[in-house]
Chain A
Amino acid sequence: MPSICRLVLVAPLFFSLFSAFSSPSALAQENPYFVAYDHYLEEPGNLEIEYFSTFGTQRAGNDFHAYWIEFEYGATAWWTTEFYLDGQTTFHDSTVFTGFRWENRFRPLKREHFINPVFYVEYENKNGADKILKEVEGHDVESDFLVSNAEARKEHIHEIELKLILSSTLKGWNFTENTLAAKNLANSPWEFGYALGASRPLALKASANRCTLCPQNFVAGVEMYGGLGDRHSFGLHETSQYLAPVLGWNLPSGWTLRISPGFGLNDNSHRFLIRWGVSREISGFGSMVSRLFGGRK
């Protein structure tokens, strides 16, 4: 991997660790999902730094470990913006930087409703070696990953992705449904996908004592996601589908840990994925940056 690629991956990681350890934190009340989104946005002025890993099995090929770093910033109470850097290691092959994404989520309604919509717009600049499986769309299938990294990274993908997130909270449960439409800006048809999620904290009341292992700090659930074909062949034919239990642990120190084993539901899917992630929310990041550049306190 060229040294500049290493720099692109490693510099944000150091920045993240430095920021995470040296900044005031807030207890993040995060959902446990890896693919699905609910309607809750980042609190205004807060920055959440997140690292996620996906280990996947590959039939007739090499298993892989894909990873990404997210910087999620609450610009306002109705707008969250996020920047990602992605990479992957394919065993017995190589490690490559696979691209970046810029994502924005907008909450159009002022108040809570039974179903709460959020609009999602993302630009992706990645290469064909991308394996993070942050979403599954169109006719994405396991055999796409058989191509060697050297060959796959020659393909440059500029993609716009739109999602409609519909999410509800009822008696402590969160139910969410995401519909996805993605368009490679090269001459490719619109591709579609979905993600469904349900989750609930293990306890609804907070404890009167500070605790790390209290049940209200754990959120468990399940998510299901997959492709829905493209404009020319809409449906489940030749698509991959996954079912994944999820567990999140919101630590009082401001860290959140997540883990999720995922299972392919058909022959086009990877048989097994294991995902894990760690994140930390930094309170008042916007004000800190402002002060750094001489803004008023």
Chain B
Amino acid sequence: MRAVTAALAACTLFLAASVILAQSRNSDKPPVAVAPKYDPAIYAELQKAPEKARNRINPLQNDPDAVAAGAILFEQHCVECHGNSAQGGKKAPSLHAAEVQGATPGAIFWILTNGVVRKGMPVWSKLPEPQRWQLVRYIKSLGGPVESPASKP
């Protein structure tokens, strides 16, 4: 009986902790009507890629299917944070930004591989290398800034 009570208490604690954590994660976020703004420093992570990593060539650069495959991978793994069209979301910045579009494929691959763990982006090295390169092809195909729906009059 004590074990059962303890289990129920632990369940309650777990849910309470989830709620508190979720609240604290959102407490400094803007309301939904405001387009997300990011500290430009977030993009500085791309500059931290070592030169050797930055200069890597995408081995799937000429693969005709890479963008389509990357789009599916993006939808499966990235949309939750970066938004449906990579315009940025509550948790992660736009990938249309000039800093991203101007970065080398190697730098984007490096970010995917290493994540930005302390700022909430998980490590994606669990996706095999070819899939990360397919994602890079898709991200580079996005092009420049898109108008955020929230910024329209």
Binding site for B on A (CB under 8 A): 2, 4-5, 8, 12, 24, 26-27, 29, 31, 38-41, 43-47, 71, 73-78, 81, 83, 85, 97, 99-100, 102, 107, 110-112, 125-127, 156, 169, 171-172, 174, 201, 204-210, 216, 252, 283-287, 289-290, 293, 295-297
Contacts and interface: CB of A to CB of B under 8 A. Distances in A.
B23 A295 contact: yes
B150 to A, nearest CB: 12
B77 A27 contact: yes
Given A43-B122, A77-B122, A286-B21, A296 B7 contact: no
Interface in B123-140: 123, 125-131, 134
B91 interface: yes
Contact of A285 (B18, B91, B122): B18
A46 B79 CA distance: 13
B41 interface: no
B76 to A, nearest CB: 4
Interface of B: 1-4, 6-8, 10-11, 14-15, 17-19, 21-23, 25-27, 29, 31-32, 60, 65-66, 68-70, 72-73, 76-77, 80, 90-91, 113-123, 125-131, 134
B19 to A, nearest CB: 5
Contact of A100 (B10, B32, B119, B131): B10
A206 B10 contact: no
B122 A206 contact: no
B96 to A, nearest CB: 22
Contact of A205 (B1, B6, B113, B134): B134
Contacts of A174: 126
Nearest to A110: B117
Given A99-B7, A112-B125, A216-B131, A297 B31 contact: yes
Given A83-B10, A107-B117, A125-B6, A208 B19 contact: no
B14 A71 contact: yes
Interface centre among B22, B31, B131 (most CB of A within 10 A): B22
Contact of B22 (A26, A107, A208, A289): A289
9 contacts: A4-B4, A26-B76, A39-B123, A41-B122, A71-B14, A77-B118, A112-B125, A293-B19, A297-B31
B69 A295 contact: no
Given A73-B14, A205-B131, 6 more contacts: A24-B80, A74-B122, A207-B69, A207-B72, A208-B72, A289-B19
